[in-house]
Structure 1
């Protein structure tokens, strides 16, 4: 009984940790993309792309 309870607690902890790490990864990728676009725009490199200009 105690072993199955311990395994269940570990499973729940791992699931919640992986969910929070996944959302942090998505947030970090979004911020990095936004910063990259801002840098490209400030240097005028985005205006050389035919689809945007």
Structure 2
């Protein structure tokens, strides 16, 4: 298992929209071998690392 790129509380941008969001929760998806993230601004949607970028 690799280390998560983002931590809870990090300010990041959604690549597709450029919207600035805050990481609320991260979870490792074992069968996909990558992390998913839930952000405060969209609590019903999860994002993968490649969909987010640091500011």
Q: Same fold (TM over 0.5)?
A: no
* Length-normalised TM-score, structure 2: 0.18
Q: Which has the higher helix share?
A: 1
Q: Which has the higher strand share?
A: 2
